[in-house]
Amino acid sequence: MHLLVLAKIIEVDHEEITPETELTHEYGIKAIDVAKLVIECEKKFKIIIHDEDVHTFRSVNDIVEYIKRVQSDW
C-alpha cells in the first residue's frame, strides 16, 4: 500500500518502484521530488516528518519504515 502511494506521489508507475529504489537522480528523483514526497506523506498519513529525519532517507524503504514506525507510536 505504501509503495503505491509513494509511486503516485513521485509520478512513476508503481511497477517501477521497489523498496530498494534509491532516492537519487539516477532514478529520476530530484530533491524537489523528495520534498514533495515528504509533504504529501505528511498529508496522506497524517504524520509529521521532521527535517532531521528526511536527511536519513536513502531509499523508498526508508520512508515506508519511517511511516510505519510513526504510525505504530500512536
3-state secondary structure of 17: coil
Averages of pLDDT over each 10 residues, the chain, 74 residues: 76 84 80 88 92 93 92 85
| Helical axes 31-45 vs 60-72, angle rounded to 10° | 30
pLDDT for the residue numbered 65: 94
- Residues ≥6 apart with Cβ < 8 Å to 69: none
pLDDT for the residue numbered 28: 76
- H helix intervals, 1-74: 2-9, 31-45, 51-54, 60-72
DSSP label of 23:
S
